[in-house]
Amino acid sequence: MNAIISASELARAAAGGNPPVLLDIRWQLSMPKADEPPFDGRATYEAGHIPGAVYVDLDRELASAPGARGRHPLPDLADFGAAMRRAGVSSGTPVVVYDGGLGWAAARAWWLLSWTGHPDVRVLDGGLPAWEGPLETSVPTPAEGDFEPAPGATALLDADGAAALARSGVLLDARAGERYRGEVEPIDPVGGHIPGAVSAPTNDNVGADGRFLPAEELQSRFKKVGAAEGAEVGVYCGSGVSAAHEVLALAVAGIPAALYVGSWSEWSSDPSRPVAVGPDPQ
């Protein structure tokens, strides 16, 4: 099954006999100026969303509180399961997730649901900007779902596993190139990358319209950085959000990949872990 769905395909599915549960994951990594309010995903959702969609808060429902395990560590699975059931998610019902267009937040929800065993979850390619149908402002109250998270359906890395994979396989760094090289680091304690990791910014996986490149183009892109079919591949980013988008791009290309959820925010919090800088993996 394709991990993404077009807006036209979603419109047909929503009108069909087994419509998907829709989850709105609008979120952004924002560092507002002193005179600007922080981004409010719920307010944005309430101002207009795809009919029937339920809002899910990435920071509160798709992650635990930030700390030593990173800025967006795995959520408590009991809390995550309860949040998904409140949103109407059941194991026998398809799920479509979307965000404001960047795709990172939706990919985080896609990855979590896939990792915990949901068999049918897809991301709206291009997010809300790709949707050509009506929007609504009323907040639905879905029937309680029955989804019970069962982790382990897809691969997960911790810090030691990421370090090992950088030596034995292909570890992709999904952040912008300047952060990988250590030229700038606006968020975490130190700039640079995990030794052996290869730079592969997730923004390069999409076109100007925010939609994924065709599978053949993604395959070619990933092959150039060593992530060809048959390779053991892992991905990290700053805090396990944009890396989920790269894992999704790899899935579109037919290449399974593990996610290092703690990512650079966890790795760089421990001064004993090595840091590489510059354009080369080592």
Report the catalytic residues. Answer: 237
Consecutive H or E run containing 259: strand 258-260
Nearby residues of 174 by Cβ (< 8 Å), 6 or more positions away = 200, 201, 202, 235, 236, 237, 242, 243, 245, 246
Residue count (the chain): 282
Residue with tokens 């507002």: 32
Measured between its terminal Cα atoms, the distance across the chain in Å is: 37
Q: Look up residue 61 and give its amino acid.
A: E
Asked whether 91 and 118 are in contact (CB, 8 A), the reply is yes
DSSP 96: E
Q: How far apart are CA 218 and CA 250, in angstroms?
A: 7
Let me know: does 276 contact 171? Beta carbons within 8 Å. Answer: no
